[in-house]
Amino acid sequence: MMVERYVMSIDQGTTSTRCILFDHGGRLVSVTQREHKQHFPRPGWVEHDAMEIWRNLERIAPEALEHAGATPDQVAALGIANQRETSVLWDRHTGRPVGRAVVWQDTRTDSLVSELNARPDADMVRERCGLPIATYFSASRVRWLLDNTPGLRERAERGDVLFGTMESWLIWNLTGGPGGGLHITDVTNASRTLLMNLTTLAWDDDLLAFFGVPRAMLPEIRPSTETYARASRVLPGVRIAAALGDQQAALFGQTCFAPGEAKCTYGTGSFLLLNTGTEPVRSTHGLLTTVGYQIADEPAVYALEGSIAITGALVQWFRDGLGLIASAPEIETLARTVEDNGGCYIVPAFSGLFAPYWRSEARGIIVGLTSYITKGHLARAVLEATGWQTREVVDAMNADSGLALKALKVDGGMTADNLLMQFISDVLDVPVIRPMAAETVSLGAAYAAGLAVGYWADLEGLRRNWHRAAQWLPGMDPVRRDTEYDNWRRAVERTFDWIKPGGR
Amino acid sequence: MACVPGPVQSIERAAAILRLLARGSGRLGVSEIAASLGLARATAHGILRTLQGVGFVEQDEETGKYQLGAALLHLGTSYLDVNELRSRAINWADALAARSGEAVRIGTPLDGRVLVVHHVFRPDDTLQALEVGALLPAHATALGKVLLAFDAGAAAALQETGLEPFCRRTITQHRELGRALAEIREMGWASEVEEFTVGEAAVAAPIRGQGGLVVGAMGISGAIERLCDPRGRPKPTLVTYVRDAARAVSRDLGASRW
Ligand SMILES: Nc1ncnc2c1ncn2[C@@H]1O[C@H](COP(=O)(O)OP(=O)(O)OP(=O)(O)O)[C@@H](O)[C@H]1O
Ligand SMILES: [Mg+2]
């Protein structure tokens, strides 16, 4: 018998899939990563090829083992974190996806969403599932696919076509696919569909009826940590022991286990999550109520979430769409060529605006352009957009909780950007702290899986692994902060009502 | 007598491809390039792929045609942006700090000194300040000595200046520094024991990019009692951690042999 030395995590993100092996100290041992293609077939549409993502996993998981000189029997457990809400439909018998996966940033359902919002029973939705009806979540997208693919609804009603977010798709494939694959999801992912009742943690018949989604196509809802099954493919014999939405995984990886603890993860978008304990808290300031995690059969822990759709994706657009930089980190180099934004602001409402506004019809703008503006100023404005959007969700969080945030724990790829981290600290006027694990999403998935199989004993032990890796302290003149914030808010207002109802 | 090898054919061919691309309108397909130089298509393709890998040529996504790469225009300036280096190294720097229990820093050369481009706190949650942006003397620090050891030009430039003493043990003689750098090249890592700050020691190793070019140095630093054995030599386990971490970053940057 080999000693089980590692826990493996898979982070199936919006831009790439990562596989990481962690040791008992929660330290990274090996990491492999592969990007997948972003398909933008029409303005506002964003799609992924689920098959490509599965093939990427087939490749990077064995590679991660190889880099560490490890074998599957040395892996105590596998934990999966995933981009949330992105919806895949596939044929149970062939394992082939039905079209491409529709990504969380996709806005094709905007008119459907306005229709649904106009229904007299629309208020019931938020009450039951904690979410506003928006293009962001899965249900309206599934409904759209069922409405727009001939014959699909019948196949779905017969259970021949399955729905899942990315963790469902990967677990189904890892456990045998068409040959007996397990069709499950976890509570955190299910809490993002608009279809799960937040209190019972089960699919809600009224919500299913409201969105017209047949129950037969839905996965079974399970806790976030539990040995679901052993993998039969790619990592034969390895226990699949945790699944969480990536943002919830980061909350777990930051060891925010107590009510009042919060983190913000900076990737494609950015997401501030606050642990609110075992009772769901309703927001009155544009935040979402969501499940944070559920450990085995313990009561679920809830969270308030401030979701920002576009942060790192704006940097990505600056690189790929405009070609002004060759790599994302060069945004910092370019931004440092100037002292300030020169009066320029970019509001990246590419997919409308998420928290705290929830305006699907808003679209992005650049304001304050004069002949003075150089690409350096634009680079500043790109980074500052992330800072101000954070400020808006923090303000909402403070208003909802009645407490003022004292420090912000951060993680994700953008935390490598010192100029940005300093700016966030400046505009929030609190210290910003990065823990010693930038890949907190992966760490959280690993923690959850390791906990499920007894590789780690308890939450307290995990907490002791948390250490501060870097800290930025606020240093902005308060008058300047206020003027800049005011300018930002005026810029945001100018994005509203861009898409006219019923047309584009 | 050692045999002096003749010119390397593939390098000659690569140079010809670059000249060809520099000459005309700029964009050529593989077949055009192969035909112009009398090469087999597969040969031309292999060379183009390699040149693309190092950024000397770029391929147009739509037409598949090749042109000179941006990297050629910036040959003199650093080819890896320091902010990108930090992004690419951040995971391994964290893991190194967690394993060693010490603060980690990454340095790149700047005007004869070391620019700290990344800093991870010592994982004991005590109050520490971020040192990113600080400049360190090259001859008196482990990071700096690594950078000097693997950059003959930088080492030569230092010959013109005096070596400022910071502590009793700072290397102040050029000959002594030369010997130390040779030893660092031999061992593949550098140490610093009370050469910059009394009571402090450090260990560093090179971060290499494609082809083995050293693009930075990564290391730990801290109290001499923790980093060194009673005889004042860096503890071998810590040296191994540092070298493994620097190698992992190098591998991610495309340095295949290290
Ligand atoms: N130094 C930097 N400065 C600013 N932005 C950066 C920097 N480095 C990376 N980014 C941005 O951060 C994002 C990558 O971060 P990360 O790897 O955490 O995201 P991700 O996990 O790929 O996101 P997702 O999970 O949504 O796929 C990219 O959008 C990139 O543009
Ligand atoms: Mg991610």
3-state secondary structure B85-129: HHHHHHHHHHHHHHHHCCEEEEEEEECCEEEEEEEECCCCCCCCC
Each residue's pLDDT tens digit, B110-148 = 888 999 999 999 999 888 999 999 999 999 999 999 999
B/e letters for B59-83, b = 16+ CB within 10 Å, e = fewer, are: beeeeebbebbebbeeeeeeebbbb
**DSSP character at residue B228:** B
Asked if the model's pLDDT at residue A499 lies above 90, the reply is no
- Residue-level pLDDT at B257: 59
Residues B234 and B227 sit within 8 Å (Cβ to Cβ): yes
The DSSP result for A187-246, as a single string, is HHHHTTSS-B-TTT-SB-HHHHHHHT--GGGSPEEE-SEEEEEE--SSSTT-EEEEEEEH
B220 CB near a chain A CB, below 8 Å?
no
Which residues of chain B have a CB within 8 Å of the CB of A407?
none
Asked if the model's pLDDT at residue A4 lies above 70, the reply is no
Which residues of chain B have a CB within 8 Å of the CB of A27?
95, 98-99
Residue A90 β-bridge partners = A97, A162
Residues A249 and A445 sit within 8 Å (Cβ to Cβ): yes
Strands (E), A42-107: 47-48, 75-82, 88-91, 101-102
Each residue's pLDDT tens digit, B141-157 = 999 999 999 987 788 78
Asked if the model's pLDDT at residue A2 lies above 70, the reply is no
Residues A53 and A166 sit within 8 Å (Cβ to Cβ): yes
Each residue's pLDDT tens digit, A151-202 = 899 999 998 999 999 999 999 999 999 988 999 999 999 999 999 999 999 9
Residues A113 and A360 sit within 8 Å (Cβ to Cβ): yes
- Report the residue of chain A nearest B248, measured CA to CA: A30
Asked if the model's pLDDT at residue B35 lies above 80, the reply is no
Candidate from A252-256, A297-301, B72-76 with smallest mean pLDDT: B72-76
A27 CB near a chain B CB, below 8 Å?
yes
Rounded to whole angstroms, what are the CA distances from A37 to A201, B121, B171?
34, 36, 53
> Residue A62, preceding bond cis, omega within 30 degrees?
no
**For the ranges A163-167, A348-352, A353-357, B9-13, the one whose mean pLDDT is highest:** A163-167
B94 CB near a chain A CB, below 8 Å?
yes
- Residue-level pLDDT at A437: 85
Asked if the model's pLDDT at residue A1 lies above 50, the reply is no
- Residue-level pLDDT at B61: 82
Q: For residue B13, what pLDDT band results from cuts at 50, 70 and 90?
A: confident
The closest of A196, A164, A195, A193 to A181, measured between CA atoms, is A164
- Residue-level pLDDT at B199: 94
Asked if the model's pLDDT at residue A352 lies above 80, the reply is yes
Ligand 1 near A331 CB (within 6 A): yes
Question: What is the rounded distance in angstroms from the CA atom of residue A412 to the CA atom of residue A14?
Answer: 13
Which of A415, A416, A436 lies closest to B98 in CB terms?
A436
Each residue's pLDDT tens digit, A409-462 = 999 999 999 999 999 999 999 999 999 987 899 999 999 999 999 999 888 889
The alpha carbon of A441 and the centre of ligand 2 are apart by a number of angstroms equal to 7
Mean pLDDT of chain A: 93
Centre a 10 Å sphere on the Cβ of residue B140 and count the other Cβ atoms it contains.
Answer: 23
Percent of chain B, pLDDT > 90? 51
For residue A57 the two structure tokens come to: 């996993």
Mutate to test the interface with B, among A418, A419, A466 (most CBs of B within 10 A): A418
Which of A27, A331, A470 lies closest to B99 in CB terms?
A27
Please state the atom number of ligand 1 nearest to the C-alpha of residue A439. Answer: 18
**DSSP character at residue A414:** G
For chain A, helix (H) and strand (E) counts, in that order, are 16, 21
Q: For residue A3, what pLDDT band results from cuts at 50, 70 and 90?
A: low
The alpha carbon of B1 and the centre of ligand 2 are apart by a number of angstroms equal to 58
Query: Exposure of A57 by Cβ count < 10 A (0-12 exposed, 13-18 middle, 19+ buried)?
Result: buried
Residues A482 and A489 sit within 8 Å (Cβ to Cβ): no
Q: For residue A504, what pLDDT band results from cuts at 50, 70 and 90?
A: very low
Percent of chain B, pLDDT > 70? 93
Asked if the model's pLDDT at residue A465 lies above 90, the reply is no
Interchain proximity B125–A27, CB inside 8 Å: no
- Residue-level pLDDT at B258: 52
Asked if the model's pLDDT at residue A18 lies above 80, the reply is yes
Q: On the CB side of B155, how many CA atoms lie within 13 Å of its CA?
A: 19
Question: What is the rounded distance in angstroms from the CA atom of residue B186 to the CA atom of residue B193?
Answer: 19
Residues B169 and B195 sit within 8 Å (Cβ to Cβ): yes
pTM above 0.90, yes or no: no
Percent of chain A, pLDDT > 70? 98
Which alpha helices (DSSP H) does chain B contain, by range? Answer: 9-23, 30-37, 41-53, 70-73, 82-100, 142-149, 152-158, 174-187, 224-227, 236-253
Each residue's pLDDT tens digit, A268-325 = 999 999 999 998 888 899 999 999 999 999 999 999 999 999 999 999 999 988 999 9
In this structure, the residue with its CA closest to atom 10 of ligand 1 is: A414
- Residue-level pLDDT at B211: 80
How many Å lie between the alpha carbon of A417 and the closest alpha carbon of chain B?
A: 7
Centre a 10 Å sphere on the Cβ of residue B27 and count the other Cβ atoms it contains.
Answer: 16
